[in-house]
Amino acid sequence: MEATRVGRVRRPARKEEVPVAPPPPPVDLEATVHRPLLVVPLERYALVAWVLGRGRAGELLEGLGTGAMRRAKVHLRNLSAMPSAQRQAKVAMEFGERADAAARLKALMEEVPEALRKEVFRRLPPYHRTLFPGRVVEPVDPEAPPLLTSLAERLIREATR
């Protein structure tokens, strides 16, 4: 019986050395162009921190200066006290609709059944109704399920935000 030997295996030599890039030259801070800082309201900082970090929103605002941080945390407390629907509306109003909202609404209208399509169209704001020139607003169907309205509103929100 042969014995098993454990040891190091020699690796083949590298074919060529990879050159290391030299460090970039030092930046002359006196000669750089200074652009004015964009001033963003602290309420928007708080809103972004809430959207991105919920439980960590306070920590995310720690990087601001002390006075700005205190004011931003006041805005954060006001945001957290709002009902969810009101917060979502505030986010939508501050940051706007998706750039592809029109295409998403058209795709939605193609995918859903006719009863839901009528309800979605009824719930669309007037500027989005212009995307569907062949449609008219029809009266509410008394036999339609009660959750159809909620579903239509939810689908519109998801398509536009």
The span from the CA of 151 to the CA of 144, in Å, is: 12
Place of tokens 């200074």: 34
DSSP, collapsed to helix, strand or coil, labels residue 29 as coil
User: In this predicted model, what pLDDT tens digit does every residue of 113-130 receive, in sequence order?
Assistant: 999 999 999 989 888 888
Q: Yes or no: say if 123 and 149 are a contact pair by the CB < 8 Å rule.
A: yes
How many DSSP H helices and E strands does the chain contain?
8, 0
pTM of the complete model = 0.46
pLDDT band for position 13 (cuts 50, 70, 90)? low
Q: Which range has the worst mean pLDDT, 17-21, 129-133, 137-141?
A: 17-21
- Enter the DSSP assignment of 148: H
Instruction: Tell me the per-residue pLDDT of 34-47, one tens digit each, with 9 for 90 and over.
Output: 665 556 678 888 88
Could you tell me if 73 and 58 are in contact, meaning their C-beta atoms sit under 8 angstroms apart? yes
| Half-sphere CA count of 56, side-chain side, radius 13 A | 4
Using one digit for the tens of pLDDT, what is the confidence trace for 27-84?
666 666 666 555 667 888 888 888 888 788 888 888 888 888 888 888 888 888 888 8
Q: How far apart are the first and last CA of the chain?
A: 73
